[in-house]
Structure 1
Amino acid sequence: MADTEAVAGAVRTTTRAAAVLCQGIVVGVTNPKSTVSFIAVLPQFVDPAGGPVPLQMLVLGCVFVLAPLTVGTAVALVTGSARDRFVRSPDRLATATGPGGALMIPLAVILLLLALLPGAH
């Protein structure tokens, strides 16, 4: 019985992860900022004398997509494994919560001071 519940939980987790991934892809593809970035940035790097323009745009577009995908994936893997380590140990979680909260105070003060400086807007 416990094995069945564990499998069902794993299936729900996998299904949820797949749904989140699909949602992220849809949001990324339909985001107008992506289209504006492609239109505004990529043509500057295309050289008509350097070969077929559509091929250059395709290659640049792939780089434009793969670079942040690679970085985002690496960040997700590192933070996910760090989160798993903290969740497994309540002591670690408690140890990180205090300093994490304490770091928010000077950050808030810095942001406040920056907002109060003339010409900072």
Structure 2
Amino acid sequence: RIPDIVTVAEAQQLFMSTRVLSYRVFYFTIYTMGLRLGEGLNLQVGDIDTTRMRVHIRNAKGNKDRLVPLPLSTLQVLRKFWVVHKNPVLIFPNRARGLKGAHLAESPLDRGGVQKTIKLVTEEMGLKKHFLSLLTP
């Protein structure tokens, strides 16, 4: 059976319906770059090469590294988001201390929180597609 893929319109609806900024930026990033949940959570500032417009994905599936293209729109969103949290290492710092303490976070967003939020948002939107397939580990 071939899985039903998410349309661009559905993805845009998901981004706009996600109220929490860090989750909205996270979903946009993994969607536009074709990343798995764990790959997105583990992104670090040093992984982004703006000169070559690519991102180094460490310990991807099969414990291999890979390089993925960095769309300009994604770079622009990530830059605006970084100005908000200013964590020197993590692209998606844990929200435990709120945005004011995000620059001190030593761990990424919580995997369960990311999964729970996307499930709630898609239910609120009335979408039947399984968006969590976007977020496979």
Question: Which structure dedicates a bigger proportion of its chain to helix?
Answer: 1
TM-score (norm 2): 0.25
TM-score (norm 1): 0.27
Greater RCO, 1 or 2 (C-alpha within 8 Å, sep 6+): 2
Q: Which has the larger radius of gyration?
A: 1
